[in-house]
C-alpha cells in the first residue's frame, strides 16, 4: 500500500521460485512432446544402428529428467530474490507488447506496413517524438528496406493488401 | 555506396522489361521461381539457368525472383506452391520428387495438386566404382556383389529417393544385395567413393565428373536405352559415349532417368500454363540452354501438355512398384 | 615451390584494376548483406550468381568470394554492436564482443574482430597456397566416422564451461538437439517431430532461433534494466584503431591456436560455425585466468573471429579440390562453378591453373581490401549507435524480424523468433546458458547423420570409432577434452580434502 515501499524496494511481481517452476515445467513439456513425437518412428537399435526416433527419444527423456531436477531444486531454493519487480515488468512489457503488435500487423498487413506503423507508434507514444518526425523516420526506414531488399537483392518479403492495391506485388 | 547503386541498377536492368510478342495471358506482377532444393543443388542450378536465359533474351516482361524452399527434400516448396492456389505468378521447379515424395512421406500435398507445365531435361544415372577398383565392367562388379550379399556399400543422395530406388531396382534385376548408405547429396557420395569409403554409387554424370577426370572414380554403365552422345574425351581416352549401357552389360533395366520439371500452383488458368510452356520452349532452343545440357551431360528432352502427363503417369507407376515392394509407401 | 610460382602467376591474373574494383564492390555488398541477419552470405551470393553468367569465371569467382569476405565481416559487426549475429558463424563473437561494446569499447572490439579475422583468413590462404595437394588428399580420408569424431571434438571442447547449474546446461543443450531433429531425416527419409504442421517441414531454423534468443531476448533485457545502450557513446578515432593494432601481438598465442583450429575445421567438414565455438571454448580453457570471459575479454573476440575466418577461407579448398562445400555459401559458389563450365575436382588445379591460382591470389588481396574497407566503416556504425534508443531499438527489432522472415520466407518464423525472444529473456534471467543450445542446433543433425551412417557401415558396431588411427586419435582427444573439467573438479576436491586433513 505505501508508496515508499515501492521506491525503496520495488515490489516483486514474480518471485524467482515461481519463475524457476514455470521454466522447468515449460522445458519439461517440450521434452515430453519430443518423447511422444519420436515414438512414431521406432526408438530401438537395429542392425543398421539407431532407428530414426531413437535419438530424439532419449534427448526428450533427458530433457524431462533434467527439468524435474531443476523443478525440485528451484522449489527447495526458497522464494529467492525477485525475478521481476513491477517497474522492470512495466519497462519490459512496454517494449515487448509493441513487438507482438508488430508481428500481428506484419502477418496481416505485410512487413513494410507493419514496420512503418510499429516504428511510428513506438516513436510517438514512447519516444515522445513529434508526429511528423516519427512519420518521416518510419516511412524512411520502410522505404529503405523496400528498396534494398525488393529492388536490389530481389528478396520478396511478406506483403499485404496495400502493396497489392498499389500494384507493386 | 555509388558502386553498390551502379551494380544494383545493372542488376535491375538485367531482369527489367522489354516488349515481347502478344500472348493471351501475361504476368502482371513479378514472377517467383520456387526452387525445391537448397542453394547450390541440382534443381537450384536448373532454375537459375532458366532465369538467366529468360533475363538475357527478355522472354518475360516482369522481373523474376528465385526463392529456395528445399525443406523436407523439397516438400516445403510444393506445399508453398499448393498454398498459392490460383496464383499463376508462382512457378515451382523440381524433379520427379513432386509426385514421388507424397508416396513415401505424409505430406500436405498430393501429386495432382500442382499443375504440370513442362519437363525440360532428363538427368542420367550411372554405376560408378572407385578408380582403383579391380572391376572393369558392370558384369564383374555385380557378380562380385552377388556372391557376397550385404558385403558391398552403395552410397547415394538421401533416403527413399531416386538413388535408393535405383539401388533397389538393381538389386531386383540382378539378385544382389547392397548396404545402402544415404548421404546429404550426390557430391558427398562422390567424395566418399573417391576416398574408397564406399564401393559404388549411382550418381548423375554432373556429380561425379570432377572425380572421374582425376581417375578417382570410374563409370561402369549408364541406365539409358542408348549410349550417351560421345563429346570430347573426359578421362584418359574415355568419353561419355564410351560407357556401355547397363542393358548391354546384362542388367535388366532399360532406362532410369530423373526429369527436371516445372509446375504451377493449383487451378492455374490454362492460358498461363501455355504461356509458361511457350517461354520454356523458347528457353530450350537457346544456345545457353544447350551449353548447360552438354556441360551437365543431361539428356535434352522437352515435354509439355498431354505428352508430359503420360510421362508422369508412367514414371510414377514405375517407381510406385519399387516403393510398394520395399514397404516405403505411407498410407 | 611450384605452388609459389603458380601463386605469383595468380597475382598476375588477380591484380588488375577491374578485379580490384570487383573486390571493392563485392566486399561492400557483402558487408551490407552480412549486416542484415537472415539475408546472409549464401543468399547474397546466390542473388549475384545470375549476374556472373556472362562474366569470365575468374572475375565471377572474385566477385562472389569478395562478397563472402564482406558478409563474414558484416556479420561480426552486428554481433558486437547489437548482439545480433548476422551470420551463424559470428554467434560466438557476441559472447565477449557485445559486453565490450556495452562498456563503451565498441571501437576496440570491432578493430580486434576485424584484425584477427584478417589474420585468420591469411592463415587459411597460406595453408591453401602451401599445402593444397596434401590437404586435398588428406580430406579424402574422411568418412562418416571421422565426421562424427570432428563434431564430437568440437562439442567436447566447448561444453562444461562454467555455468551455474549443470542441469540447466543439460536442458539447454538437449533442447538444441531436439530442435535440430525437427524436419526431414536424411537417413530414413521420414519427417520427424513435425506433428503434421507444414511450417515445421523445413525444421526449426538455427538463424531464427539465434535472432530470437540473442537479438530480441537481449533487447527485452536491456529495456527491463533501463540501460538503453548507455555506454556506446564513445567516439571513434583512428588512434583507437592504431592502439588496438599495436596491442595485437600480445595475443599471439590465441591467434595462433585459433588459426590452427580454424584451418583444421575448414579442411575437415566442421565448418566455420563449429570452428568459432571450439576456438572460444579452448581459449577459455587455456586461459590462465578464466575470469572475465563472457564479460568482455579481448581473447573472447579474437579467438572466435580468427577461427571463423580461417575456417571460412580454408573451406574453399575442399570445395575446389573435392567438390564438397564446407559451408552453405561454398555450396552456392560450387553451383556457380558448374554453371561457368568448371567441374570442381582434383583436376581443376591442373586444367584451370589461371582460375584456381587467380582465386587464391584474390583471396590474399580480397581480405586485405576487406579489412581496410570494414575498418573504414567503423565510424559509420558507431554513428548509428548515437541515434537515440527510442528510434534505433525498434529499428533493430524490425531488422531482426526481416532477418527471421528472409531465412525461408515463412510467416511462422516470425512467431518462432518472438517465442525464442521470450525464451532467451527468461533463460538469461534464470542463468540457463544459451550457447550450448545454439551449438547443439548447429551440430546436432550433422552429428546424428554421421553417427547413423557410421552405424550402417559397421552394421551397428561402435568399434568403428576406433577403427583407424585417424578416427581413434580424434575420438580419444574428444573424450579427454570432455573429461577434462571433471578431472579439474576432482583435483580441486582432492586439494580441499588435503587441506582439511591435517586439521582433522
E strand residue ranges, chain B: 31-35, 64-68, 90-94, 115-124, 126-130, 153-157, 179-183, 200-201, 217-222, 233-235, 238-239, 257-264, 299-304
Q: Evaluate if residue A6 carries a pLDDT over 80.
A: no
Q: What is the pLDDT of residue C27?
A: 93
C325 in contact with B, Cβ within 8 Å:
yes
Average pLDDT over residues C290-296: 85
Higher-pLDDT residue of C296, C237:
C296
Selected for mutation to probe chain C from A26, A51, A103, A104 (highest C CB count within 10 Å) is: A103
Which chain C residues have a beta carbon less than 8 Å from that of B183?
186, 453
Residues in A 119-158 with any Cβ partner in B closer than 8 A? 151-152, 154-156
Q: Evaluate if residue A66 carries a pLDDT over 90.
A: yes
Q: What is the pLDDT of residue C160?
A: 64
> In angstroms, rounded to a whole number, what is the distance separating the alpha carbons of residues B245 and B242?
9
Hey, what's the torsion of the CAs at B268, B270, B275, B279, to 10 degrees?
A: 80
pLDDT band at C291 (very low <50, low <70, confident <90, very high): confident
Cβ contact A152–B11 (<8 Å): yes
pLDDT band at A42 (very low <50, low <70, confident <90, very high): confident
pLDDT band at B299 (very low <50, low <70, confident <90, very high): very high
Helix (H, G, I), strand (E, B) or coil at B228: coil
Average pLDDT over residues C298-304: 95
Cell of C409: 520466407
B193 and B228 housed in the same domain: yes
> In angstroms, rounded to a whole number, what is the distance separating the alpha carbons of residues A119 and C47?
29
Domain boundary residue among B255, B273, B289?
B255
Average pLDDT over residues C210-239: 74
ipTM score of complex? 0.91
Q: What is the pLDDT of residue C52?
A: 77
Provide the pairing of β-strand B64-68 with B31-35: parallel
Average pLDDT over residues C483-504: 68
Provide the pairing of β-strand B31-35 with B90-94: parallel
> In angstroms, rounded to a whole number, what is the distance separating the alpha carbons of residues C42 and C88?
11
**Closest residue in chain C to residue A126, using alpha carbons only:** C390
- Cβ–Cβ under 8 Å, residues B262 and B118: yes
C190 in contact with B, Cβ within 8 Å:
yes
Q: Evaluate if residue C428 carries a pLDDT over 80.
A: yes
Q: What is the pLDDT of residue B7?
A: 46
Q: What is the pLDDT of residue C501?
A: 52
pLDDT band at A141 (very low <50, low <70, confident <90, very high): very high
Which chain C residues have a beta carbon less than 8 Å from that of B209?
343, 345
Q: Evaluate if residue C163 carries a pLDDT over 60.
A: no
C224 in contact with A, Cβ within 8 Å:
yes
In a domain, B37, yes or no: yes
| Residue pLDDT, tens place only, B21-52 | 445 789 988 899 999 987 777 898 899 889 98
> In angstroms, rounded to a whole number, what is the distance separating the alpha carbons of residues C109 and C130?
32
**Number of structural domains chain B divides into:** 2
In a domain, B268, yes or no: yes
B136 and B226 housed in the same domain: yes
Average pLDDT over residues C438-448: 89
Taking alpha carbons only, the member of B272, C388, B8, B139 closest to residue A128 is: C388
In a domain, B41, yes or no: yes
Q: Which of B4, B11, B67 lies nearest to residue A156, judging by beta carbons?
A: B67
Cβ contact C190–B48 (<8 Å): no
**Cα of B177 vs its chain's centroid, Å:** 26
Selected for mutation to probe chain B from C46, C331, C343 (highest B CB count within 10 Å) is: C343
B160 and B119 housed in the same domain: no
Q: Within 13 Å, how many C-alpha atoms sit on residue C440's CB side?
A: 22
Angle at C401 between CA C396 and CA C402, to 5 degrees: 95
pLDDT band at A97 (very low <50, low <70, confident <90, very high): very high
Q: What is the pLDDT of residue B221?
A: 95
Helix (H, G, I), strand (E, B) or coil at B181: strand
Cell of A125: 507514444
Q: Evaluate if residue C342 carries a pLDDT over 70.
A: yes
Q: What is the pLDDT of residue A7?
A: 42
B205 and B168 housed in the same domain: yes
**Closest residue in chain A to residue C445, using alpha carbons only:** A55
Q: Evaluate if residue B14 carries a pLDDT over 50.
A: no
- Cβ–Cβ under 8 Å, residues B209 and C345: yes
Extents of the domains making up chain A: 12-84, 86-166
| Residue pLDDT, tens place only, C73-88 | 888 888 898 888 877 8
Q: Evaluate if residue C237 carries a pLDDT over 80.
A: no
Average pLDDT over residues B63-75: 86
Q: Evaluate if residue C132 carries a pLDDT over 80.
A: yes
Q: What is the pLDDT of residue B11?
A: 44
Per the document, the length of chain C is: 504
Q: Evaluate if residue C356 carries a pLDDT over 80.
A: yes
CATH number, domain containing residue B200 = 3.40.190.10
B104 in contact with C, Cβ within 8 Å:
yes
- Cβ–Cβ under 8 Å, residues A116 and C415: no
Provide the pairing of β-strand B200-201 with B238-239: unpaired
Torsion over CA: A76, A82, A86, A92 (sign): negative
Kindly report which listed range (A34-43, B10-19, C245-254) carries the lowest average pLDDT score: B10-19
Q: Mean pLDDT for chain C? A: 86
**Closest residue in chain C to residue A152, using alpha carbons only:** C47
B56 in contact with A, Cβ within 8 Å:
no
pLDDT band at C464 (very low <50, low <70, confident <90, very high): very high
Q: Evaluate if residue B147 carries a pLDDT over 90.
A: yes
C51 in contact with B, Cβ within 8 Å:
yes
Q: What is the pLDDT of residue A5?
A: 40
B277 and B248 housed in the same domain: no
- Tell me which residue has cell 579467438: C303
B174 and B67 housed in the same domain: no
Give me the percent of chain C exceeding a pLDDT of 70: 94
Q: What is the pLDDT of residue A132?
A: 93
CATH number, domain containing residue B303 = 3.40.190.150
Q: Evaluate if residue A8 carries a pLDDT over 70.
A: no
> In angstroms, rounded to a whole number, what is the distance separating the alpha carbons of residues C40 and C117?
17
Domain boundary residue among B205, B235, B255?
B255
B263 and B245 housed in the same domain: no
Structural domain containing residue B275: 26-123+258-326
Cell of C33: 548483406
pLDDT band at C161 (very low <50, low <70, confident <90, very high): low
Q: Which of B7, B14, B183 lies nearest to residue C25, judging by beta carbons?
A: B7
B210 and B102 housed in the same domain: no
Q: Evaluate if residue C496 carries a pLDDT over 80.
A: no
> In angstroms, rounded to a whole number, what is the distance separating the alpha carbons of residues C493 and C504?
16
Q: What is the pLDDT of residue B10?
A: 45
pLDDT band at C37 (very low <50, low <70, confident <90, very high): low
Taking alpha carbons only, the member of C158, C26, C61 closest to residue C361 is: C61
A77 in contact with C, Cβ within 8 Å:
no
> In angstroms, rounded to a whole number, what is the distance separating the alpha carbons of residues A141 and B328?
51
Task: Name the phi and psi angles at B255, rounded to 5.
Answer: -155, 135
3-state secondary structure B108-119: CCCHHHCEEEEE
DSSP C236: P
pLDDT band at A55 (very low <50, low <70, confident <90, very high): very high
Q: Quote the radius of gyration of chain C (alpha carbons, Å).
A: 22
Domain boundary residue among B209, B230, B255?
B255
- Cα separations (Å) of B286 from B35, B49, B54, B59, C341? 22, 11, 10, 11, 17
Q: Evaluate if residue C210 carries a pLDDT over 60.
A: yes
**Closest residue in chain A to residue B182, using alpha carbons only:** A48
Q: Mean pLDDT for chain B? A: 88
Q: What is the pLDDT of residue B307?
A: 94
Cβ contact C457–B72 (<8 Å): no
Q: What is the pLDDT of residue C500?
A: 56
Amino acid at each position: 500500500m505505501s508508496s515508499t515501499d515501492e521506491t525503496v524496494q520495488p515490489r516483486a511481481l514474480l518471485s524467482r521460485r515461481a519463475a524457476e517452476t514455470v521454466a522447468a515445467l515449460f522445458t519439461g513439456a517440450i521434452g515430453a512432446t519430443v518423447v511422444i513425437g519420436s515414438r512414431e518412428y521406432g526408438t530401438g537399435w537395429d542392425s543398421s544402428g539407431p532407428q530414426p526416433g531413437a535419438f530424439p527419444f532419449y534427448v526428450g527423456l533427458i530433457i524431462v529428467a533434467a527439468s524435474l531436477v531443476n523443478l525440485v531444486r528451484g522449489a527447495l531454493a526458497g522464494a529467492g530474490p525477485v525475478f521481476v519487480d513491477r517497474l522492470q515488468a512495466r519497462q519490459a512489457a512496454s517494449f515487448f507488447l509493441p513487438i507482438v503488435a508488430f508481428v500481428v500487423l506484419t502477418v496481416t498487413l505485410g512487413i513494410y506496413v507493419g514496420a512503418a506503423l510499429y516504428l511510428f507508434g513506438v516513436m510517438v507514444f514512447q519516444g515522445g517524438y513529434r508526429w511528423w518526425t516519427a512519420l518521416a523516420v518510419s516511412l524512411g526506414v520502410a522505404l529503405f528496406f523496400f528498396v534494398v531488399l525488393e529492388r536490389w537483392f530481389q528478396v520478396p518479403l511478406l506483403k499485404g493488401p496495400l502493396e497489392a492495391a498499389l500494384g507493386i506485388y | 555506396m555509388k558502386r553498390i547503386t551502379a551494380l544494383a541498377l545493372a542488376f535491375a536492368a538485367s531482369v527489367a522489361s522489354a516488349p515481347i510478342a502478344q500472348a493471351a495471358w501475361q504476368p502482371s506482377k513479378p514472377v517467383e521461381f520456387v526452387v525445391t532444393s537448397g542453394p547450390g543443388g541440382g534443381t537450384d542450378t536448373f532454375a537459375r539457368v532458366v532465369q538467366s536465359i529468360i533475363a538475357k533474351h527478355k522472354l518475360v516482361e516482369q522481373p523474376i525472383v528465385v526463392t529456395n524452399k528445399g525443406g523436407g527434400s523439397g516438400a516445403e516448396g510444393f506445399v508453398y506452391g499448393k498454398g498459392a492456389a490460383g496464383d499463376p505468378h508462382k512457378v515451382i521447379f523440381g524433379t520427379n520428387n513432386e509426385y514421388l515424395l507424397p508416396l513415401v512421406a505424409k505430406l500436405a500435398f498430393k501429386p495432382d495438386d500442382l499443375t504440370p507445365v513442362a519437363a525440360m531435361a532428363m538427368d542420367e544415372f550411372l554405376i560408378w566404382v572407385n578408380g582403383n577398383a579391380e572391376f572393369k565392367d558392370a558384369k564383374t562388379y555385380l557378380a562380385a556383389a552377388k556372391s557376397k550379399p550385404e558385403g558391398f556399400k552403395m552410397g547415394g543422395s538421401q533416403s527413399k529417393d531416386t538413388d535408393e530406388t535405383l539401388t533397389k531396382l538393381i538389386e531386383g534385376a540382378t539378385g544382389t544385395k547392397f548396404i545402402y548408405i544415404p548421404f546429404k547429396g550426390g557430391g558427398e557420395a562422390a567424395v566418399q567413393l573417391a576416398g574408397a569409403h564406399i564401393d559404388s554409387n549411382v550418381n548423375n554424370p554432373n556429380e561425379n565428373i570432377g572425380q572421374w577426370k582425376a581417375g578417382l572414380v570410374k563409370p561402369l554403365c549408364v541406365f539409358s536405352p542408348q549410349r550417351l552422345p560421345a563429346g570430347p574425351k573426359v578421362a584418359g581416352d574415355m568419353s561419355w559415349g564410351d560407357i556401355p549401357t547397363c542393358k548391354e552389360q546384362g542388367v535388366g533395366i532399360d532406362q532410369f532417368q530423373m526429369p527436371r520439371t516445372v509446375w504451377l500452383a493449383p487451378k492455374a488458368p490454362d492460358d498461363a500454363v501455355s504461356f509458361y510452356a511457350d517461354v520454356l520452349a523458347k528457353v530450350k532452343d537457346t544456345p545457353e540452354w544447350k551449353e548447360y545440357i552438354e556441360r551437365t551431360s543431361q539428356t535434352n528432352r522437352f515435354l509439355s501438355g498431354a505428352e508430359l502427363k503420360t510421362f508422369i503417369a508412367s514414371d510414377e507407376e514405375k517407381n510406385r512398384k519399387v516403393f510398394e515392394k520395399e514397404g516405403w509407401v505411407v498410407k | 615451390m611450384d605452388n609459389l610460382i603458380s601463386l605469383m602467376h595468380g597475382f598476375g591474373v588477380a591484380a588488375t584494376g577491374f578485379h580490384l574494383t570487383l573486390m571493392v564492390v563485392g566486399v561492400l555488398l557483402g558487408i551490407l548483406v552480412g549486416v542484415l541477419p537472415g539475408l546472409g552470405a549464401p543468399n547474397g551470393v546466390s542473388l549475384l550468381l545470375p549476374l556472373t553468367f556472362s562474366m569470365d569465371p575468374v572475375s565471377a569467382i572474385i566477385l562472389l568470394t569478395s562478397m563472402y569476405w564482406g558478409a563474414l565481416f558484416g556479420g561480426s559487426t552486428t554481433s558486437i554492436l547489437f548482439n545480433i549475429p548476422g551470420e551463424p558463424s559470428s554467434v560466438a563473437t557476441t559472447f565477449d564482443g557485445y559486453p565490450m561494446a556495452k562498456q563503451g569499447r565498441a571501437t576496440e572490439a570491432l578493430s580486434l574482430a576485424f584484425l584477427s579475422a584478417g589474420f585468420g583468413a591469411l592463415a587459411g590462404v597460406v595453408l591453401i597456397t602451401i599445402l593444397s595437394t596434401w590437404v586435398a588428399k588428406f580430406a579424402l580420408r574422411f568418412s562418416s566416422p571421422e565426421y562424427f569424431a570432428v563434431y564430437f571434438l568440437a562439442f567436447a571442447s566447448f561444453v562444461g564451461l562454467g555455468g551455474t547449474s549443470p542441469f540447466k546446461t543439460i536442458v539447454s543443450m538437449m533442447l538444441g538437439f531436439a530442435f535440430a531433429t525437427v524436419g526431414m531425416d536424411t537417413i530414413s527419409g521420414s519427417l520427424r517431430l513435425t506433428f503434421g504442421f507444414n511450417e515445421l517441414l523445413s525444421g526449426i531454423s538455427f538463424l531464427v532461433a539465434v535472432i530470437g534468443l540473442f537479438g530480441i531476448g537481449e533487447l527485452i533485457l536491456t529495456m527491463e534494466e533501463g540501460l538503453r545502450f548507455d555506454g556506446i557513446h564513445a567516439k571513434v578515432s583512428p588512434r583507437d584503431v592504431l592502439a588496438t593494432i599495436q596491442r595485437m601481438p600480445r595475443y599471439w598465442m590465441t591467434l595462433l591456436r585459433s588459426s590452427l583450429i580454424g584451418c583444421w575445421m575448414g579442411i575437415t567438414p566442421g565448418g566455420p560455425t563449429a570452428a568459432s565455438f571450439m576456438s572460444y571454448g579452448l581459449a577459455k580453457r587455456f586461459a590462465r585466468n578464466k575470469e572475465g570471459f563472457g564479460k568482455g575479454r579481448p581473447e573472447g573476440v579474437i579467438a572466435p573471429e580468427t577461427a571463423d575466418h580461417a575456417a571460412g577461407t580454408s573451406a574453399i579448398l575442399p570445395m575446389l579440390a573435392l567438390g564438397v562445400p564446407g559451408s552453405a555459401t561454398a555450396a552456392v559458389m560450387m553451383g556457380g562453378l558448374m554453371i561457368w563450365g568448371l567441374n570442381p575436382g582434383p583436376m581443376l588445379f591442373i586444367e584451370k591453373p589461371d582460375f584456381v591460382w587467380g582465386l587464391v591470389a584474390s583471396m590474399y588481396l580480397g581480405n586485405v581490401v576487406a579489412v581496410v574497407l570494414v575498418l573504414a566503416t567503423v565510424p559509420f556504425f558507431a554513428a548509428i549507435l548515437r541515434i537515440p534508443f527510442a528510434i534505433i531499438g525498434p529499428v533493430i527489432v524490425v531488422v531482426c524480424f526481416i532477418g527471421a522472415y528472409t531465412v525461408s520466407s515463412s510467416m511462422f518464423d516470425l512467431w518462432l523468433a518472438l517465442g525464442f525472444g521470450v525464451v532467451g529473456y527468461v533463460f538469461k534471467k534464470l542463468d540457463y546458458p544459451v550457447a550450448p543450445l545454439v551449438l547443439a542446433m548447429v551440430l546436432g543433425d550433422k552429428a546424428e547423420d554421421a553417427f547413423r551412417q557410421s552405424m550402417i557401415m559397421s552394421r551397428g558396431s561402435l568399434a568403428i570409432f576406433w577403427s583407424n588411427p585417424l578416427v581413434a586419435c580424434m575420438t580419444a582427444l574428444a573424450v579427454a577434452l570432455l573429461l577434462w573439467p571433471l578431472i579439474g573438479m576432482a583435483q580441486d576436491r582432492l586439494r580441499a580434502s588435503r587441506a582439511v586433513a591435517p586439521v582433522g
